[in-house]
Amino acid sequence: MLINLPDNLPSVEILKGENIFPCAGSLSSASRLRIALLNLMPLKTETEVDFLRLMAHSPVATEVTFVRLRTHRSKNTPQEHLDKFYRYFDEIRGEHFDGMIITGAPVELLDFRDVTYWEELTAIFDWAGSEVASTIYICWAAQAALYHFYGVDKHPLPEKLSGVFLHTVNQSLPLFCGFDDEFYAPHSRHTGIDREDILRTDGLVLVSESAEAGVYAVIARGGREIFITGHPEYSPLTLHNEYVRDLAKGLPAGIPVNYYRSGAAADRICVRWRAHAEILFSNWLNYYLFRASGR
């Protein structure tokens, strides 16, 4: 695992328990890629682990900086964790980063402009678009960025889309190098994007989609912008935990599709997306950041 991480980051111990070990010592600035991870998910430690796990097996050396918003206060992560391991965007915007990841957020049922931190978030979108070689926008962040940059709006779904769905690759691009013709990926959302809106919008390329889950991957500006509407980073238990949480809150919650081995929530989970998720992020680091940097 060629990733530089902050000292005493709790996520490191979790990864070690999975036989994933960060590199010893610091990586030379000439050889490493700097990645900014804007973590908008409520359970930030779990999300840290999810993304670090995906990048762990890439031969590309990276340094990850965790970023937070000044206009939003997290309710589910201890403030001391954020103060110790995260930096505000305005503190890092003058630094060089090769790539950026912007996660989903639990605000998808709100109109974009009603999100309290929309102004700061779109300023980050604009900064990434001009200063970073490639940015991956995940789930709600993908919808938000498509709306901000291209005017493509989301639409509500009849019911929550939750499960692991079969996808196809529409175009042979480096991001999907090594993929099978069909692959699985998790989704967990209440809103979607119409494929016709993507196809009619100049500059957007629909790279991957699902007959059940719809648009999955869209690329713009030669890969400087990558929009992923699902959650390839999800751990095996994430959909289960979300399902149990929704039931406990009395929310309408269907059993995640193609997730439990027999289709019943009491059965074991069938993990069928992790290998492709690792390839996706390895390709991003290699083709869109490392080679683009000229190292």
Rounded-to-integer distance, Cα 253 and Cα 162, Å: 9
Are the C-beta atoms of residues 50 and 234 closer than 8 Å to each other? yes
Nearest CA to 58 among 291, 294, 281, 292?
281
Residues 101 and 136: beta-carbon distance below 8 Å: yes
Give the active site residue among 63, 209, 233, 276.
233
The three-class DSSP label of residue 289 is helix
List 48, 63, 108, 231, catalytic entry: 231
Burial class (CB in 10 A: 0-12, 13-18, 19+), 256: buried
**DSSP for 184-197?**
EEEEEEEEE--HHH
268 is written with which tokens? 């074991």
| 196 is a catalytic site residue | no
Active site residue 182: no
233 is catalytic: yes
| 61 contact partners, CB below 8 Å, separation of at least 6 | 2, 3, 4, 23, 27, 31, 32, 33
Candidate list 48, 108, 139, 167, residue with the active-site label:
139
In total, the chain counts a number of residues equal to 295
Catalytic residue ranges: 139, 231, 233
